[in-house]
Amino acid sequence: MVAIIFGAAGGIGAAFVEALGPDTIGLSRHSAPPLDLEDETSIAAAAAWFAAQNLVADLMLDATGFLHGNGFRPEKSWAGIDREQMLRNFAINAVGPALLMKHFLPLLPRNQRGVFVTLSAKVGSIGDNASGGWYSYRAAKAALNQITHTAALELRRHRPLAICVAMHPGTVETKLSAPFAKTGLTVRSPALAVAQMLPVISGLNVTDTGGFFSYDGSLLPW
């Protein structure tokens, strides 16, 4: 049994690889095979490569994501909404993970427990949104949550012991969160965040599939 981490070069992804040890397969734009969320061919090729290894993955964890970069910052107001920024957010935070699910969920074990976790964000929760702003990231993560829930329903028909969830990692010190670090905000190291999430992931059971969880195991509102 092995774990596959998507986005293995990222702050949280690298900490998962480190914590899970040598039987972990880390996939990223820089790995062999490379995996680029904006290139479905690379996702399909990585899935085919994994299938050819004759290994069984009991954990697949998607730690990819996009919040800022290439001149983009999260919108403070509707005045900041930009077509390219919104499309990029959806491409990386929603469409890319959906393609991971398309190609990798069928590779979960057929007759034993297997878990697919995608890292979402609490700001993607509509019910929890009391402060506004960040239109593109919020909307793309909300879409990711819907995709995760929908995929879990389909997965249950083919893999009754499999689990597919979205998880909020909490605020973690990575390049994604760096520009938004504020005094007084509790920021955890990637190693601590992973140490908190791993027991929650281990404790998930089939009745949890399709859910949106926080790193402490609590359920988040949609």
Among the listed residues 61, 119, 163, 197, the single contact to ligand NAP using CB under 6 A: 119
Instruction: Tokens for 142, please give them.
Output: 């909300």
User: Closest distance between ligand NAP and the C-beta of residue 105, in Å?
Assistant: 18
Write the interaction track for ligand NAP spanning residues 158-187; mark x where CB under 6 A is met and - where it is not.
Answer: ----------xx-xx-xxxx----------
User: Closest distance between ligand NAP and the C-beta of residue 161, in Å?
Assistant: 26
Residue span binding ligand NAP (CB under 6 A) among the ranges 30-38, 45-53, 106-114, 208-216: 30-38
Residue 25, SS3? strand
Residue 163, SS3? strand
Rounded to an integer, what distance in angstroms lies between the CA atom of residue 58 and that of residue 162? 9
Residues in Cβ contact with 80 at an 8 Å cutoff, skipping those fewer than 6 apart? 73, 135
Does the footprint of ligand NAP cover residue 26 (CB under 6 A)? no
Write the interaction track for ligand NAP spanning residues 40-69; mark x where CB under 6 A is met and - where it is not.
Answer: -----------------------xxxx---
End-to-end CA distance of the chain: 32
Does the footprint of ligand NAP cover residue 136 (CB under 6 A)? no
CA angle 128, 132, 138 (to 5 degrees): 70
Rounded to an integer, what distance in angstroms lies between the CA atom of residue 106 and that of residue 60? 12
Residues that bind ligand NAP in the complex, under the rule CB under 6 A: 7, 9-13, 28-29, 35-38, 63-66, 92, 119, 121, 168-169, 171-172, 174-177
